[in-house]
Amino acid sequence: MRRLLARRMKFHLFGAFFVSIGCAALYKFGVAEPRKRAYAEYYKNYDAMKDFEAMKAAGVFECAPPK
């Protein structure tokens, strides 16, 4: 009964702090970093013209038909 609110509030303040920090860290290292790495990997050896020729050959361009 003694310091009922203070005890509860301290517990919940700590908890909220660590839970939010944990969520942020989880997102950063579970989602954000892999995504940045994926993009870096993809564009490291990216050849735009080769990609364009492949798409053109497949026939998806209206103004650049595959001929």
| Positions that interact with other proteins (CB under 8 A) | 1, 4, 35, 38-39, 42, 51, 54-55, 58-60
Q: How far is the CB of 43 from other proteins (least distance, A)?
A: 8
> Do the beta carbons of residue 51 and residue 42 sit within 8 Å?
no
Q: How far is the CB of 18 from other proteins (least distance, A)?
A: 25
Question: Nearer to other proteins by C-beta: 15 or 59?
Answer: 59
Backbone angles phi, psi at 46, to 5 degrees: -90, 130
Question: Nearer to other proteins by C-beta: 21 or 60?
Answer: 60
Of 10, 37, 32, 55, nearest in space to 65 by CA? 55
